[in-house]
Amino acid sequence: MSEHAGDPSALSESADQETVRELADIPAVEVISRAAVMLMSSAAEKLGLADEDPDSSPRRDLDEARRVITALAGLVTASVEYLGPHAGPIREGLQSLQRAFRESSAHPDAPGAGPGEKYTGPVY
């Protein structure tokens, strides 16, 4: 029997070490891509794009969408050299979200002032 059999903190530590080892085996491009996809999905939900009528979506939250889109833009800009062939589709997704944000806003930001545009440049 294990020397840590009755110690829950030892089990948690063991599970954490196993998770860390698994993460170490995942290439950086995959970690970055997964993070980008998660941010894109979150932004789409916060823009209400998953609903039939985004304008009346109870989940719509433009302030939160702005934050997530800006974080995505920063991630994409900072890691474009590592993403290789994955950069194009992720950038296109980001630009689509930026345009959707502009269309969803009652008072759209000036070009270059929208979410993430300080990293990506103006999106029209």
Does 84 reside within a domain?
Answer: yes
pTM to 2 decimal places: 0.79
Query: Could you report the per-residue pLDDT of 10-42, keeping only the tens digit for each?
Result: 666 766 676 676 888 999 999 999 999 999 999
The answer to whether position 63 is within a domain reads yes
Does some domain include residue 20? Answer: no
At 33 the pLDDT is 95
* Rounded Cα–Cα distance for residues 39 and 45 (Å): 10
pLDDT value of position 22:
82
Residue 17 lies in a domain: no
Q: Give the residue among 94, 84, 88 at the shortest CA–CA distance from 29.
A: 84
Domain span holding position 51: 25-117
CA gap 121, 124 in Å, rounded: 10
Residue 5 lies in a domain: no
Closest CA to 119 of 51, 67, 72, 57: 72
Total structural domains within the chain: 1
